[in-house]
Amino acid sequence: MTLQGGAIIVRVVLLGTAADGGFPQWNCACALCAAARDGKLPARTQDCVAVTGNARDWWLLNASPDIRSQLTATPALRPGPGPRDSPVRGVLLTDAEPDHVAGLTVLRGVAGLKVYAPSPALAALTPARLVLDRYAPWEWGDSLAEGGFVLAGGLVVTAHPVGAKAPGYVPPRPSDDRWVTAYRIEDLAGGGALVYAPRVAAWTDTLDDLLTSADCALLDGTFFTADGTATKGHLPVSGPRGSLDALARHPGVRRIYTHLDNTNPLLDADSKARAQVNGAGVEVLMDGAEFVV
């Protein structure tokens, strides 16, 4: 998409906004999941985002297990003009968690896709990469390479470490703070910048620096309170050390919570939690929401 005069801007589609398992979660009978099954709350698919700088070349931020239905539901991502042509050029992985990488298997067989991930994630995905490349060869790149990288469509990307928690399937090994990353995506012409950080273990100076230079941020809203988050690698929204207080330092940035756990009261638009977040100027959007940066 372009502005008048031909300036490129970043176009963003929230393909999914729920944490692993989606909403309602298949094996959960909590009040929120029950309300979703009864049609009282809208269902959500697992977190995934699509971005483009020219409305032709699209890039996925993570590849959720729900990617097939997400692509099918998004007109801009439908195949064509040829029978096997797709506007999807590749995937930017923030980490190697199953709910962020499982969708790669759905994309198999499309030659030439580019997949970027932090180096520990690339190493953990080696068995899957060997399988996927047997269907069609892909290009695999280290997202933390010095200087960042440029995507088709006029987007320049840098990755920034924000967490050291390895996926549960990875054997114990020395700590590595590059396991989880945030992405900063900027258009080369207009300068609009998006930050994508769906998994944040703790608020750091790195995140403050990223938001200082951003126009919009999609941030980890997995858990509203600190209950149970210590071992899951997610900073809660509320509380004296929660992300909502940190976001108050960046009132000029459009701030949006995503990656919502099925127990999170933010899923209910009429909840006190949603009122608190909205009152602080932070948004919670639905699957399919589209905007420009």
pLDDT tens per residue across span 269-289: 999 999 999 999 999 999 999
Q: What is the dihedral of CA 288, 250, 183, 44, to 10 degrees?
A: -30
Positive/negative CA dihedral, 175, 179, 180, 184: positive
- Residue 85 has a pLDDT of 87
pLDDT tens per residue across span 77-109: 999 888 888 999 999 999 999 999 999 999 999
Q: What is the mean pLDDT of the chain?
A: 94
Sheet holding 290-292, edge to edge: 139-142, 114-117, 88-92, 58-61, 48-52, 11-16, 290-292
pLDDT tens per residue across span 30-72: 999 999 999 999 999 999 999 999 999 999 999 999 999 999 9
Strands of the chain, DSSP E: 11-16, 48-52, 58-61, 88-92, 114-117, 139-142, 149-151, 155-163, 180-187, 193-197, 216-220, 254-258, 282-284, 290-292
Cα–Cα distance between 181 and 117 in angstroms, integer? 9
Could you tell me the pLDDT band of residue 1, with boundaries at 50, 70 and 90? very low
What mean pLDDT comes out for the span 253-266?
Answer: 98
Positive/negative CA dihedral, 265, 266, 269, 275: positive
DSSP summary character for residue 222: S
* Whole-structure pTM value: 0.95
* pLDDT top residue among 144 and 226: 144
pLDDT tens per residue across span 113-166: 999 999 999 999 999 999 999 999 999 999 999 999 999 999 999 999 999 999
Cα–Cα distance between 231 and 228 in angstroms, integer? 7
